[in-house]
Each structure stands twice: as C-alpha cells, then as structure tokens.
A = this chain, B = another copy of it.
C-alpha cells in the first residue's frame, strides 16, 4: 500500500506543478521575446531552470509528460492546419530549391560529420542529420511577420520552402523512426511507411469532407455547444492512435489531422477539396486557446528532461560537437538559398530565415533521446545547436532588413 500511495501525487500538488510550469513558461517566454528571441527559447529555459539541471523543483513525471504529448500533437495539428500546398506551387522553383537544398545538404553534411569525424553509429548519425534538416515553420513565419516581410518575394519563397521542408521532415521522421525500430530501412518497411503517408495524404481530404459534413450535421441537429473543441481534439487523438497502430510516429497523426482540415488542401493530381472558410476559421479560433494552453507544457517538458548536470562540460567533445554542428546547420540551410537565382541580399535573407530548427528540430532530438539513440552528451549538444540556430536568426534578420532600409 505504501509505495503506491507514495507514487500517487495529491491533486493540489499536481495543480501546483502545472501552475508553476504554466507561469514559468509564460514569464521566460516574455523575457525571451523582450530580448528579441523566440518564445520557445524562454519555455525551454523555464524547463531547464525548474528541472534537475538547476532548481530541481519539478521532476518530469507521467502526468506532465502526457499533457506535454497532447501539447506537441496539437502543435503539429496547427502546423498541418497552416500548411497550404497551393502556396508551395505558386512560389515555384525557388521555394523547391531552397527546401530541397536546405534539406539534403544539412542531412548529408550532418551525417558525414557525425559518422566520420565523431565516429558515431549509423543510427545516431542519421538522427543528427535528420534534426539538422528541420526548419521551424512557426518561428520562421513569426520572424518574417515581425519584420513585415511575410508578403515580400523572399517571404513567399521562405514560406513555400518552410511548408515543403515541414512535409519532408515529417516523412524523414517516419523513416528514421522505422529505422530505429527495425534496425535498418528495409524496402518493405520504407514501402510501408511511404504507403501509410500516401494513404494519409490521399484519404485526408476525404476525411476532411466527411468530418465537415458530420460535424455540420451534428451542429445543425442540436444546439448543444462545444462540438468543435471535443471533435477536433478527438480527431487528433484518433489520427495519432491510428498512426501508432500503423507503425508510424504518433506526431504524424496530429499533422495529418491538421492537414486534412487546412483551408486549402491540394492533391498532387490537381484535385482540390476545399473546407468551408467560415468553418475553418471557427476551428482555428476555438482551437487556438487550447493549443496555446498545451504547447508550452511540451517545451518546458523538454527543458525538464534535459539534465545538464549529467553533461561533462569540461570535455572538449561537447564544445567541438556543438561548434561543428552549428556550422553545418547554418551552412546547410544557406547553401539551399544560395542555389537560387534571387538577388544576393535576398538569398542571404532567405538563408538566415531558414536556419531556425525550433520545435521541429527538438522533436527529432526528443525522439532520439526517448528512444535511447542519443546519449545525454549528444542530446545536450543537439539542444545547444537547435537553441543557437533558433536564437541567432531573428537578430540577424533584424540587422539585414535594417541595413536594407538604411541603404535605400
């Protein structure tokens, strides 16, 4: 009886923990934004400060972990909801070059550096390469909006590239996940993952239509409020569970659910199934508070999970690792931008805007850590690389656009 009782947290203790997490996340996010950094940096910092790295007030526990899982699922739902396949087609050639170049080059360079210079295993090297391919669509779009550049030509290119990069990243994540479970990417397994993704991308608009019709029907038939929040969260949970059942990461389910309900989802074959704009806007308006409540818990949880006291900071390895992979992370994304035919200043701006790894990079790192692929040193190094790639570009972009403004 006793150990069971000791394990069970009292309700008011849970309330206090959740309170501290929410308030600290917000406080440090505000400080980060005040200093010109993305909010996510503040939330990570809150977790590092509250967790075993510094204060040790909150140990990562099961209930907080479940809430964090819902948070990241909902974030991927939102990313899916924001993904607009038509934008990608309109921005055309440049977007594709930026996305593919900025995807392949960091992956290959990261893999080679990890496996040749650091003598790491294939699986670890692939995950490091994978984490370096990510572009945080959220942070990138946020930075461009803050600078009033979202509708400029380079803004459109970055938007398209970030959307494509996001889809590529999710596919790669599924492949790496498969690789980490099966020990290799067999043709059958790759086929299965690709079949699943194709199935999802083919069924998503049909599901969206069916769900729209069903929800609208229920909405018309009764005046019982609150359908959208429960229906949407249920949908995300269902797709996450289905994804798991098909051997893919649960996160892909959240993304697919969002993509299925996004305002303009296009099949590659030119088939378009529009979700009603009014309905789509209502979903966004009602889901936003829920997403905003849950997602900081994920980033705080990542900070809590990172025990920096276990890292040997006096070792040359961690410093060399962080420095070299930071270079690869920046050069990789820049190369993609430099391959385009845009004016040089625009190419630089695009390159900088694509650098932030943010939450997408963290998903790779977190998956690497929880599945035991990354040890604490590599995980800490990757977190440093992700943090720096996320922290530096906003300052650089501000500088670039201020220069441009001055020289005009």
What is the interface of chain A, defined by CB distance below 8 A to chain B? 7-9, 11-12, 14-16, 18-19, 22-23, 25-26, 29-30, 33-34, 39, 62-63, 66, 69, 146, 218, 221-231, 233-234, 237-238, 240-241, 244-245, 250, 286-290, 292-293, 296
Contact present for B224 and A30 (CB under 8 Å): yes
* Given A222-B34, A290-B293, CB of A16 within 8 Å of CB of B230: no
A290 partner, pick from B11, B15, B229, beta carbons under 8 A: B229
Our pick among B23, B63, B230, B241 for the contact of A63 (Cβ within 8 Å) is B63
Tell me how far the C-beta of A353 lies from the nearest C-beta in chain B, rounded to whole angstroms.
Answer: 19
Q: Which residues of B contact A63 (CB under 8 A)?
A: 62-63, 66
**Contact partner, A66, options B14, B146, B296, Cβ 8 Å:** B14
Most buried by B among A14, A15, A250, A287: A15
Please tell me if the beta carbons of B241 and A15 are within 8 angstroms of each other in the complex.
yes
Q: Report the copy number of this chain in the oligomer.
A: 2
Q: A207 → chain B, closest Cβ, in Å?
A: 15
Rounded to whole angstroms, the CA-CA distance of A209 and B290 in the bound complex is 25
Q: Residues of B contacting A245 with CB < 8 Å? A: 12
Set of chain B residues within 8 Å of A286, measured between Cβ atoms = 288-289
Once the chains are docked, how many angstroms separate the CA of A241 from the CA of B231? 31
Taking A15-B237, A30-B218 as given, write out 4 further A-B residue pairs in contact, using a Cβ cutoff of 8 Å, ordered by the A residue number. A9-B62, A15-B241, A230-B292, A290-B290
CA–CA, A345 and B29, complex, Å: 59
- The distance in angstroms between the C-alpha atoms of A369 and B74, with both chains bound, is 35
B290 and A241 contacting across the interface, CB-CB below 8 Å: no
Bound Cα distance from A210 to B250, whole angstroms: 42
In the assembled complex, the CB of A108 is this many whole angstroms from the nearest CB of chain B, namely 32
Residues of B within 8 A of A230 (CB): 22-23, 25-26, 292-293, 296
> A25 CA to B229 CA in the complex, in Å?
13
Quick one: which of B225, B244, B287, B289 contacts A228, CB cutoff 8 A?
B289
Shortest C-beta distance, A133 to chain B (Å), equals 25
Closest CB of chain B to A370's CB: distance in Å? 10
Q: A328–B352 Cα gap in the complex (Å)? A: 73
B residues in contact with A292, CB < 8 Å: 225-226, 229-230
Which residue of B is nearest A62, CB measured?
B8
Listed by A's residue number, 6 A-B pairs whose Cβ atoms lie within 8 Å are A14-B69, A18-B237, A19-B238, A19-B241, A226-B293, A290-B293
Chain B residues near A231: list those with CB within 8 A: 26
> A288 — which chain B residues lie within 8 A by C-beta?
225-226, 286
CB of A293 within 8 A of CB of B233, answer: yes
**Cβ B222 vs Cβ A19 within 8 A:** no
CB distance from A63 to the nearest CB of B (A): 6
B22, B69, B229, B296: the one contacting A293 at CB < 8 Å is: B229
A16-B241, A233-B293, A286-B289 known; A11 vs B224 contact (CB < 8 Å): no
Q: Which residue of B lies closest to A8 (CB)?
A: B62
Alpha-carbon distance between A335 and B25 when the two chains are bound, in angstroms: 52
Report which of B16, B39, B238, B289 forms a contact with A237, defined as CB distance below 8 A.
B16
- Interface pair A241/B12, CB less than 8 Å apart: yes
Count chain B CB atoms within 10 A of each CB in A9, A250, A289 and give the residue with the most: A289
- Residue picked from A14, A39, A221, A237, most chain B C-beta under 10 Å: A237
